[in-house]
Amino acid sequence: MASTQSRDAVLEDHPQLLPASPTSEYIHSSILSLSILVVFELEIPIKDSKTITLLRDQFLPINTRFSSTLVRDEKGAQSWKRVDINLEDHVKVPHFPTGLPPSTYDDYLQDYLTKIALDRLPENRPLWEIHIIKYPTSNAAGTVVFKLHHALGDGFSLMGALFSCFKRADDPSLPLTFPTKNPSLKSHWKAEAWKKVSNIAAGCWYTASDFVQSVLHGTVLEDDRTAIRSGTPQLEFEQFTISTVTFSLDRIRRIKSKFAGTVNDVVVGIIFYAIQLYQQRMGQVTTGRRMTASVLLNTRMVNGYQSVNDMLKEKTWGNHFGFLHIGIPSCSNADKENPLTFLINAKKTIRRKRQSLAVYLTGRLLQMLKTIGGPED
């Protein structure tokens, strides 16, 4: 309570300060600092002469957080503070050797992404950067990388912000739009409410069991040591390398239509199957081993793309997500398993988890612990 009163007093003395959300505080601390890399691959060479103008006229006005820093009061509570911004400090243009083949620039790009992923964003300026790579790779004539701190918002918010800066290729006078078939927020909420009422008994059981499981995983339960979990202390601070793999979205859509699933079901199922194949290649049998994945869940009551204006109007901008703890299925011989089995299991598990309110209870619990122990705890 004292911490809350302290923050309220600070905000009254400094009306330009806006309190950071609890989630933003969790992912921006002395222990944890999460950033998102958004990579745009362009079909034509980059001309960066209009970069500053685009950032000033279109990007910064989207949200005041893009021209604010996070400051802490004497209790450690964080707030957003508007600052003067020098856009040149946020634009990075790396220089590689010239005249190399695109495949070589693939390696340079991968190394560069790894480097900027490890670098912590400066605290004395707004928490974002744009990196312009003018060298042709195997996939693009040029590459633009946005690095944005997760405290600014989740992927849903930040992608909406970046898309709002673009125009349609067929008519540059019009903003970028996406087709949508989702119902309104109100009707979606009614459908979800009716669904939960009709399954109230199962929902209560799932909520209780998932909440207990989530608390245990966060405190006493540990996954077994495997090829994907070494158990090495402070592994998150070790050097790592970013590598990519590309899947055709059209193929994923065709796959999901085969078993009436979602794109998310397909992606999760593919990852689970790949984990089994990897561990088998590493000479490990996964049968009987406890392995758990944290699957990101969008907690907004929307289904589909929202423009920035819609997010600001309906107050869905920011970090609105939770994590579902999902057990990774095991098998004795991944080469003999039908990959579709992993997709179907992922679909069933995620749908069952969506009937649970454990993700919201876990968020409340974290908020209570933050109030008692402070933001850094």
| Chain length of the chain | 377
pLDDT of residue 373: 64
Q: What is the pLDDT of residue 185?
A: 45
| Ranges of residues in the chain whose predicted pLDDT is under 50 | 1-15, 183-190
pLDDT of the residue at 5: 44
Residue 30 has a pLDDT of 78
Cα separation of 132 and 154, whole Å? 22
Position 16 scores a pLDDT of: 66
**What is the C-alpha to C-alpha distance for residues 9 and 76, in angstroms, rounded to an integer?**
14
Domains of the chain with CATH codes? 2-163 (3.30.559.10), 185-373 (no CATH)
Long-range pairs for 98-102: beta carbons < 8 A, 24 or more residues apart: 100/135, 102/136, 102/137, 102/138
Provide the token pair at 142: 């040029």
pTM for the whole structure: 0.79
